[in-house]
Amino acid sequence: MMSSKKSILFVCVENSNRSQMAEAFARMLGPSSTQAYSGGSRPSGRINPKAIEAMRELGYDLTTHHSKGLEGFNGTRVEVAVTMGCGDVCPFYPGKRYEDWVLDDPAGQGIESVRVIRDEIKGRVEKLLAELLA
């Protein structure tokens, strides 16, 4: 088990797809000592309905989330900061560990493509959590 709380911040551009799903998986799969957050460099203000549908298929209600910017995280210390396929648009967010996950953007894609991206995010979150638990 984790000896202390571990916090993870997932960042993408709109905070409407990838980072929201990653936050959800960290909450679903991580121990209670895991704190998961997400934010966007240019938040859209809404969660993609296809991301909501894809997560509902796995029993998670993404409608409880909202798209938000990074301003609320200024000064928040995190164990891991993960940017998600947004290149130079995502700012560097300080953490003890920093990762950039290159992922397709689900925006504008059909549910089949969103499912593939969702499953890739799930696998990456599982790997990250396993590394944090080690």
Task: Respond yes or no: is residue 86 known to be catalytic.
Answer: yes
DSSP state of 94: -
128 located within any domain: yes
82: its two tokens = 């993960």
Tally of domains in the chain:
1
CA distance 12 to 104: 11
60 located within any domain: yes
Q: Is the confidence at residue 134, as pLDDT, over 90?
A: no
- Burial (0-12, 13-18, 19+ Cβ within 10 Å), 76: middle
97 located within any domain: yes
If you average pLDDT over residues 13-29, what whole number do you get? 95
Task: Respond yes or no: is residue 90 known to be catalytic.
Answer: yes
Estimate the crossing angle of helix 49-56 against helix 111-133, to 10 degrees: 60
Q: Which of 9, 52, 86, 129 is catalytic?
A: 86
The model carries a pTM of 0.90
Query: Taking a C-beta distance cutoff of 8 angstroms, is the pair 10, 40 a contact?
Result: no
pLDDT score, position 87: 63
Model pLDDT for residues 39-69, shown as the tens digit of each residue? 998 899 999 999 999 999 999 999 999 999 9
User: What is the dihedral angle through the alpha carbons of 31, 5, 77, 46, rounded to the nearest 10 degrees?
Assistant: 30
Task: Supply the CATH number for residue 113's domain.
Answer: 3.40.50.2300
**Percent of the chain scoring above 70 in pLDDT:** 89
Q: Which of 8, 9, 11, 12 is catalytic?
A: 12
1 located within any domain: no
